[in-house]
Amino acid sequence: MIFTADQISAVHSQLTQHRNESPPRAVLLAVAALMGEESPPALICESQSDENTTTWRVVGLLDSGCLFAVEAAGDESRWNFDSFKDAEGRVQVQLSAHIRSLSDVTSMSLTSAISYDSRGTNTPWDVEAAWEIYWRDGSPALALPTRTDATAGERDATEAIVDKVRQVLAAR
């Protein structure tokens, strides 16, 4: 698939809005491929690192009624964007990308909730929720990224995805 610089730039802008770090090119290309000509109204991006690996996850909701997910994991400092293998042929990056219709959703569950409040006050609780979406064919559940430092846009995107899935399930 061939992408224009404007398409990649638009994806980059959406994924880095209010963030200091930029996803690797492999993630940008996978997201652009799954989005096609659409501009997702809801897009969530997160990265997690440990001492050896950085994992990038992106989940998006398309106007066409589809969800997509991209995950890339590897030693980001050694990623070669033209090849996912090193000189000896060892895999440096594991990349997966999926697109599914919301009509394939069988259920959704709240897998955890973390509340933040100041005990003893009348301040309402601010609850962070972790959601998993399950598929009819038994494929692995789609966990919505839930960064503790999520931007307002990412929180809005999560709410939009959860609301859309609720609508699909309620219509059955």
The domain limits of the chain are 5-170
Instruction: Identify the residue with better confidence: 142 or 111.
Output: 142
- Res. 18 pLDDT band, cuts 50 70 90: low
Tokens representing 73 are: 């994991």
Task: Give the global pTM.
Answer: 0.77
pLDDT at 45 over 70: yes
- 53-85 tens-digit pLDDT: 788 889 999 988 899 999 888 776 555 555 555
